Amino acid sequence: AANIDSKPCIIEFITKNTPPIAHALYNDPVRISETVRLSAHDSIDEDGDPLSYSWTMVSRPSNSQAKLSDPNAITPTFIADVQGKYEVHLIVNDKQIDSEPDKLEIQVHNGPAAKATYPKRLPVNQKVQLDGTGSEPGVGGGTLKYTWTINEKPPGSNARLSNSRASKPTFTPDKPGKYKIKLVVNDGISVSLPKFIEYETLNSRPIARASFNDNDNDPVRISDTVLLSAKGSTDEDKDPLTYRWAMILRPDNSNAKLSDPNAVTPTFKADVKGKYILQLIVNDSYIDSEPYNLPVEVDEGPSANVAFIKPVPVNQIVQLDGTGSKPGIGGDPLKFIWTIKEKPPGSTASLSNLNSSKPTFIADKPGKYVIELVVNDGFSESPPFKLEYETLNSKPIAQFSYNNNKPVYVHQTVELDGSASSDLDNDPLTYKWTLSLKPLNSKATLSNPGISNPNFIADRPGRYVVKLVVSDGKEESAACQHSVKTKNSKPIAKAGDDVTVFEGETVQLDGSASSDADESPITYVWTVKEKPNGSKAPLSSKNKINPTFTPDIPGQYVIELIVNDGDINSDPDILNITANPSIDLESGDIDLSALITDPDTLEVTGTVIVNIINKGTRPVTDDFFITLFEDENQNGKFDNTDLVIGKHTVTNGPQGKDAVTIPVKADGKVTFKDNIIFIMIDPMNTIPERNENNNLMNSFEGKECKPPVGQFSPKLDWEWTGSNDFPMSNQVICTPLVGNLTDDNNDGKIDLKDIPDIVFITFESNHHEKRGVIRAISGDGSKEHFSIGPVSFGNKYFEAFPTYNSALGDIDNDGIVEIIVIMDDQAEKKWLAVFENTGALKWISEDYSPSQMTKPPSINIADLDANGTPEIIIGNLILSNTGKTLVNGKEDNGFNNSTVADIDLDNQLEIIAGRTAYEANGKVLWHVNELENGFTAVANFDNDDHPEIVHVGSGKISLIEHTGEIIWGPKEIDSASPFSVDGGPPLISDVDGDGYAEICVAGVSKLAVFSKNGNILWAADINDPSSVTTASAFDFDGDGKTEIVYSDSDTLKIFDGRNGNILFEDQVGSGTFIEMPIVVDVDNDNSAEIVVPCNSYVSGNVNGIRVYEDETDHWVNTRKIWNQHAYVITNVHDDGRIPKTPINNWETYNNFRQNQIDNPFGCKDISASYIRFDLSQCPDQVKITARVGNGGGLHVPKNTQVSFYLGNPAGSGRLISEVKINKVLYPGEWIDLTAVMENIGTGKNNIFVFADSDEKLWESNEDNNLTQRSFTCP
């Protein structure tokens, strides 16, 4: 079939109209008065239909009159006439349908506003200051630009603006009238409306000026017409003037009148001789001038006039002056005729030239002179002119002498003599004496200040300034002044009263009664002048104020004392010592090897071998007792409460300087096995002895537990890294303090049986100069006591300063330490604050430090005046224990660090701050100009009596004698450092055990140790950009050679003091100021620990406090206190009390910033004994009780483990129970511990009790820790 097309199929599509879319725009931003240009150009219609536009202003600000220019235009406009929001809607239409409205919110802002002012109106020709700084930019505008214009000014004015573009230009109105100034400002977006100000000059007051006859100096005679003139009057505003003349004075009988009172140049006729006064006032139509008075003198013939230049006293030249005389009208030059008409009796005065216009004469006598002058002008003579001249009173002259020109000594009466004072006028004199200056604390007064010859007593050494003023009844003389300086008196030595003692008895010499009338410091020289043959007794010190002397054999000793005041030796003073033979009994060794203790009953038998020594020279001939006992009440004495275990009567006592061995039979019962046994020699005091205090001894005295030498294994014991109180404040950069703040054992008192506490200041992040928090935590790390942030006192807030080193000590003698801290107020002034041991604020100082402390200061506590109440020292600043400033030294402040010591051995403490030594009253003892300010420490380097001072400043170290003389130095500390070096506070310690102290100082890159002679022994690498850190020292193993503990910005290092080898290091970190790690028994375990402050604000990630211990617990024992940065052992007692008269540290320990105790090798000795059984419930249960005691010299810590075994633990014994001791056992103390054994079998049960079963204690006797006893159930 053929292919055939179908019929067409037609489909019609009707498209639907799409609504148009309105899109409105405008120019942004918009300022007031600007034309807003709207635009609908971006409106669209997808169908491509043509659009029509409908704009509507829906809202506008109140008071706005804005209207659209054409609501149907594609780009209409309107003027934004008011600030605020305008809402405009746009609807477009495609001839079929409206679009949705597009809404515009147009915010109209203020444009820039010009504001122009001037301070005040001024007269013409004075500079006017314009001010446009009150102008403001519009919203979003930038910095204003100013355009000033002077739009209008008075005719002829050339006034110009100083700078038309300045914010505060000036101009000077040079013509009176109005000036119109325009200011326009531009803020970078638009220009402001112009601001106009009108300035009008103030009217200037006219000035009246008058003259006569064209020359005021021309003479006027009777009948002359006087021509007056006001032509000299002026007005700055150039206003026309009117004139008003008046004759306000004329001579009697004169009828003179002004020709025209309102003329510029009126006249009058001088009709009478005398004085006329004409007054002129001018007016500028606004204001009158000040009146101007013009005097006119009218004369008739020649007139004489005499004057004298000035009055003078007697015997001086009097200058006469007749030049004021005048000739008559038309007269010739004058001739002068002078005469002395009267003069005082006896005067021979005559005129130098009778015809001169200015003759002279000498007034040779006091009194009145009458001088006459007549002048002649060629026509006639003048009437005589008489001048009465009287001499001036002559000022009297004060003169005096004293003491007939002989020297004046202290306490002497000074005789004054003012009789040589005089008066030329022979007037009677009165006297006025004063003491205008006298030495400090002098009470000297004049006996009678109103007579010619008073006296006074020179009661103090020094300079007295005496002044004498005499008066003749008319005037006073100049002061006559003399300095009366006391002459140096010979000092007086007082060695003390003669004494009678036993040989071997120490005599305390005392030269404190020696004196110097001039109160100069005195030095002492003691000498043994005579002693018995064979005596070798030395003085303990030849130069101390109070040395000791021990006569070693009987006989006569003669001691001489000579004192010196720096210039003169005293006469010698003699002290006689009579030493009689003596008996002095004491115990030597106590041998307990033959003493048997039954561990089951605690009964003792056997003998104790006692060695009795007679240290005296006289033999013991009488019998005496020896008593063995236990010190039951732990008071260290023998009394009736003690448990006696043996007595013995000694019938054959030792001879002089001899000893005997006595066996003492024991028969009694002890409280526990191997308890400390005491021996009391002669308890009834039958034998008279030179020393009754050395008769008591115990079996543990002299026992030592020395650690193995050379073993050194520090480990981190615990650390504090932050708190819930002020959690962000956890950085530490100050030296920590250690002392007892709390009653840890709850015995009702704070003492050395409690755990020491650590006090330090923390800060946040890197804010080491603000917002410090004072912290106190337990020395074993177990608890926090308090955290003190900002405190309020008065109307101020205070915060601790984190880098400043605090101190602690008992400053109010209440037996408990206080904490002393430097605080900051809101003005960053430094104040001292004291807190109680509880953290409660005690006080804040009355006034702030005048020194704002450029380097971190450190606080010292010392009893400077030895009155039992400590003072507080910061550098050269001394405060009382209540915060009152007592002294502020005038020289160095030691960078607000200082050292306190009795360097001149006068029994009075001095303060060494930098290169200056101060007495306690602030007086400068010496100042070393050759050195810089710096840090100090004190020790003895030459084995004489006096100490030396180590000084570190400006990167150099020096050694200074106690007198201020430089012994050696300055020497470089760290010469290799490329950075500026200060050098930190020095450490002093015998690092090599040679008996001499060495010095350790930190620089930037080196920690250097110097010998006593200033030679560098070794220098180790460190990293301390601050170069002011400090080290401490400690003899950890007790071998006599100290180790140096130091922390720089990266690492805690412990050096071998002999060679600088590093024994231990640990990564800590610090921003470093003058802080240091310290060594102290911080947890009362009788072993030293290292306490290290840490912060991470410069390097590292360790912050807070770290405590290190020996992993074998073998570090030797030391003190439980470190109370200040400048720490020495003798500056504080163990309990925090401040000594009234401290022992000189260099005489006993000779170190600085090192801790130690007299016997660091004390031992513990724990024993088990006295096992008892409760068989009442056997075989189900048996209670086993054992007694554990401490027979050592150191306490046994709480929680020491005691184990109960069935069978020997060394073999196959079975553990029954482990019990912890629940308290500290001090020497001689014991505790009963009980364990329960269950399911007891038949037969014999061997029970072993093992004290210190985990063997954590280091003891003198490890063999008595195990005891055994058996039981069998019935």
Is the pLDDT at 1258 greater than 90, yes or no? Answer: no
Is the pLDDT at 1241 greater than 50, yes or no? Answer: yes
Which pTM was predicted?
A: 0.66
Is the pLDDT at 330 greater than 80, yes or no? Answer: no
Please tell me whether residues 82 and 226 are part of one structural domain: no
Question: Does 1157 map to a domain?
Answer: no
- What are 726-780's pLDDT values in tens digits? 999 999 999 999 999 999 999 999 999 999 999 999 999 988 888 999 999 999 9
Domain span at 1173: 1166-1273
Q: In what order do the strands lie in the sheet with 195-200?
A: 145-152, 178-186, 195-200
Q: Poorest-confidence range of 12-26, 280-294, 999-1013?
A: 12-26
Question: Which H/E stretch holds residue 1147?
Answer: helix 1145-1148
| Alpha-carbon distances of 1274 from 86, 1186, 1216, 1247, 1270, rounded to whole Å | 113, 21, 21, 16, 13
Tokens, residue 17: 């109209």
Tokens, residue 434: 């004063």
pLDDT for the residue 1: 44
Residue with tokens 């060495």: 998
Q: In what order do the strands lie in the sheet with 1078-1080?
A: 714-720, 1104-1110, 1089-1094, 1078-1080
Least Cα distance to 247 among 228, 222, 232, 231 occurs for: 228
β-pair type (128-129, 77-79): unpaired
Distance CA 1130, CA 1152 (A): 10
Please tell me whether residues 1113 and 1129 are part of one structural domain: yes
Is the pLDDT at 1182 greater than 90, yes or no? Answer: yes
Report which residue type is found at 673: K
pLDDT for the residue 850: 54
> Residues 1127, 1153: contact at Cβ < 8 Å?
yes
Please compute the mean of the pLDDT values over residues 348-356 and round it to a whole number: 90
Question: Does 351 map to a domain?
Answer: yes
Please compute the mean of the pLDDT values over residues 1217-1236 and round it to a whole number: 96
Q: Is 293 helix (H, G, I), strand (E, B) or coil?
A: strand
Please compute the mean of the pLDDT values over residues 646-665 and round it to a whole number: 95
- What are 416-441's pLDDT values in tens digits? 999 999 988 888 999 999 999 999 88
β-pair type (841-844, 935-939): unpaired
The model's confidence at residue 852, banded by pLDDT at 50, 70 and 90, is very low
Q: Poorest-confidence range of 81-85, 604-608, 929-933, 1006-1010?
A: 81-85
- Which residues is 1248 bridged to in the sheet? 1205, 1268
Distance CA 1037, CA 992 (A): 13
Distance CA 243, CA 112 (A): 54
Is the pLDDT at 379 greater than 80, yes or no? Answer: no
> Residues 1014, 959: contact at Cβ < 8 Å?
yes
With b for 16 or more beta-carbon neighbours within 10 A and e for fewer, the 1185-1202 pattern comes to ebbbbbbbbbbbbeebbb
Please tell me whether residues 671 and 734 are part of one structural domain: no
Least Cα distance to 1116 among 1086, 1083, 1149 occurs for: 1086
What CATH number is attached to the domain comprising 193? 2.60.40.10
Please tell me whether residues 680 and 720 are part of one structural domain: no
Q: What is the chain's mean pLDDT, rounded? A: 91
Contacts of residue 1, defined as CB under 8 A and 6 or more positions apart, other chains included, come to none
Please tell me whether residues 466 and 482 are part of one structural domain: yes
Contacts of residue 1071, defined as CB under 8 A and 6 or more positions apart, other chains included, come to 733, 766, 768, 1026, 1049, 1095, 1097, 1098
pLDDT for the residue 472: 92
Please tell me whether residues 768 and 823 are part of one structural domain: yes
DSSP for 1052-1088 reads: EEEEETTT--EEEEEE-----SS---EEE-TTSSSS-
Distance CA 165, CA 791 (A): 54
The model's confidence at residue 221, banded by pLDDT at 50, 70 and 90, is low
Q: Given 697, 729, 755, which residue is the final one in a domain?
A: 697
Question: Which H/E stretch holds residue 680?
Answer: strand 678-681
Please tell me whether residues 1115 and 1023 are part of one structural domain: yes
Question: Does 976 map to a domain?
Answer: no
Question: Does 590 map to a domain?
Answer: yes
Please tell me whether residues 856 and 989 are part of one structural domain: yes
Q: Is 520 helix (H, G, I), strand (E, B) or coil?
A: coil
Task: Count structural domains, the chain.
Answer: 9
DSSP state of 123: B
- The beta-strand segments (E) located in 1156-1251 are 1166-1174, 1181-1190, 1201-1206, 1214-1220, 1230-1238, 1244-1251
Sign of CA dihedral 552, 554, 555, 561: positive
The model's confidence at residue 83, banded by pLDDT at 50, 70 and 90, is confident
- What are 796-825's pLDDT values in tens digits? 899 999 999 999 999 999 999 999 999 988
Question: Does 46 map to a domain?
Answer: yes
pLDDT for the residue 126: 87
Question: Does 1160 map to a domain?
Answer: no
Distance CA 302, CA 380 (A): 7
Residue with tokens 């409690």: 754
pLDDT for the residue 727: 96
Please compute the mean of the pLDDT values over residues 831-847 and round it to a whole number: 93
Distance CA 1147, CA 905 (A): 11
Is the pLDDT at 3 greater than 80, yes or no? Answer: no
Q: Given 390, 415, 443, which residue is the final one in a domain?
A: 390
Q: Given 469, 487, 505, which residue is the final one in a domain?
A: 487
- What are 150-161's pLDDT values in tens digits? 999 999 889 899
Q: Is 1145 helix (H, G, I), strand (E, B) or coil?
A: helix
DSSP for 1013-1046 reads: TS-EEEEEE---TT-----EEE-TT-SS--EEEE
Tokens, residue 466: 């005496």
> Residues 959, 923: contact at Cβ < 8 Å?
no
Is the pLDDT at 1101 greater than 90, yes or no? Answer: no
Phi, psi of 1130 (to 5 degrees): -90, 0
pLDDT for the residue 380: 64
Cα 566 from chain centroid? 33
pLDDT for the residue 53: 93
DSSP for 125-172 reads: TS-EE-B-TT-BPPTT--S-EEEEEEEE--TT-----S-TTSSS-EE-
Please tell me whether residues 832 and 857 are part of one structural domain: yes
Please tell me whether residues 1215 and 1073 are part of one structural domain: no
> Residues 512, 541: contact at Cβ < 8 Å?
no
What CATH number is attached to the domain comprising 813? 2.130.10.10
Is the pLDDT at 1142 greater than 60, yes or no? Answer: yes
Please tell me whether residues 408 and 366 are part of one structural domain: no
Question: Does 310 map to a domain?
Answer: no
- What are 382-428's pLDDT values in tens digits? 778 988 888 888 889 999 999 888 899 999 999 999 999 998 888 89
Distance CA 302, CA 311 (A): 27
Please compute the mean of the pLDDT values over residues 86-96 and round it to a whole number: 92
Q: Poorest-confidence range of 199-203, 738-742, 949-953, 1117-1121?
A: 199-203
Tokens, residue 551: 């006569």
Please tell me whether residues 1189 and 1253 are part of one structural domain: yes
- What are 973-1029's pLDDT values in tens digits? 987 766 667 899 999 999 999 999 999 999 999 999 999 999 999 999 999 988 899
What CATH number is attached to the domain comprising 615? 2.60.40
Question: Does 215 map to a domain?
Answer: yes
